[in-house]
Structure formats: structure tokens, C-alpha cells
């Protein structure tokens, strides 16, 4: 099976802009979770989608949002970008709910906000 894919792999944006990141889970996986990885804060949970429904949300402002489509692909959107949003955004998929089934991680999207 193909692994988790994320597009684009690299993005450069300026403050105030918005960005959409995409994640394609492993075939058959219904759960997609998003994480933010930064040197200062480490890996932090953003949200999880399962069968097109948001199941969990981390402690991030409302500028961070996401959705999942019927084919389990997921998108994450960040509006009104801030310098502190520069990070590696990781997507992970699992067959069942995250934390119960093993999560498989993608390579990430490196977002730089100038």
C-alpha cells in the first residue's frame, strides 16, 4: 500500500495570507490526524477527523481548521498566517480512531511564514 502523502511538501507564505495543506491517507484508513511540529513546542495535536467528522481538537486558535472528504482525504487550512505558524505540519492516518490503532505519519509539509 502507498503511504500517507502530503502536498505540497514546502510552502512559503507571508503574514496575513491563508494556506491549505492536503493529506491523502493510506487506502482504507478512515482517521486522519494533524500535528504541528516546531523546535520550541515539539509535536502538538491539531485535530482528528474520522469518517468526515471532527472527533478531537487540540488547543489551537480558530484560524486553524480542517475537513475530511468522503474518500478520507483531508485538508487543513490556516487563515491570517502569523510568523509563529512556521512549522512542519504532519498528517497521520489510522484504520480506526487515533490512539487505538497505529498511526502512520506522512512526510509533512514545511510551512515558512515571512
Rounded to the nearest angstrom, the gap between the alpha carbon of residue 10 and the centroid of all alpha carbons in its chain is 14
| Contact between 67 and 74 (Cβ < 8 Å) | yes
For another protein, the closer CB: 28 or 42:
42
For another protein, the closer CB: 48 or 85:
48
Q: Backbone phi, then psi, for 71, in 5-degree steps?
A: -90, 15
For another protein, the closer CB: 76 or 90:
90
Residue selected from 17, 20, 22, 56 as contacting another protein according to rule CB under 8 A:
56
Pick the piece of the chain touching another protein (CB under 8 A) from 8-16, 63-71, 72-80, 99-107: 99-107
8 binds another protein (CB under 8 A): no
- Beta bridge pairs of residue 67: 75
C-alpha–C-alpha distance, residues 81 and 15, integer Å: 5
109 binds another protein (CB under 8 A): no
Nearest Cα residue to 71 out of 51, 54, 55, 53: 51
Pairing of strands 109-113, 10-13: parallel
Pick the piece of the chain touching another protein (CB under 8 A) from 9-17, 21-29, 66-74, 93-101: 93-101
Chain residues in the site for another protein (CB under 8 A) = 3-4, 33, 35, 42-45, 48, 55-56, 58, 90, 92, 97-100, 102-108
Amino acid at each position: 500500500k502507498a503511504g500517507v502523502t502530503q502536498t505540497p511538501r514546502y510552502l512559503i507564505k507571508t503574514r496575513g495570507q491563508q494556506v491549505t495543506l492536503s493529506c491523502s491517507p493510506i487506502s482504507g484508513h478512515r482517521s486522519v490526524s494533524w500535528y504541528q511540529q516546531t523546535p520550541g513546542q515539539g509535536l502538538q495535536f491539531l485535530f482528528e477527523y474520522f469518517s468526515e467528522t471532527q472527533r478531537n481538537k487540540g488547543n489551537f486558535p480558530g484560524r486553524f481548521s480542517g475537513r475530511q472528504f468522503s474518500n478520507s482525504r483531508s485538508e487543513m487550512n490556516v487563515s491570517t498566517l502569523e510568523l509563529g505558524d512556521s512549522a512542519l505540519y504532519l498528517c497521520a492516518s489510522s484504520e480506526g480512531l487515533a490512539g487505538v490503532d497505529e498511526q502512520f505519519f506522512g512526510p509533512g509539509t514545511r510551512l515558512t511564514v515571512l
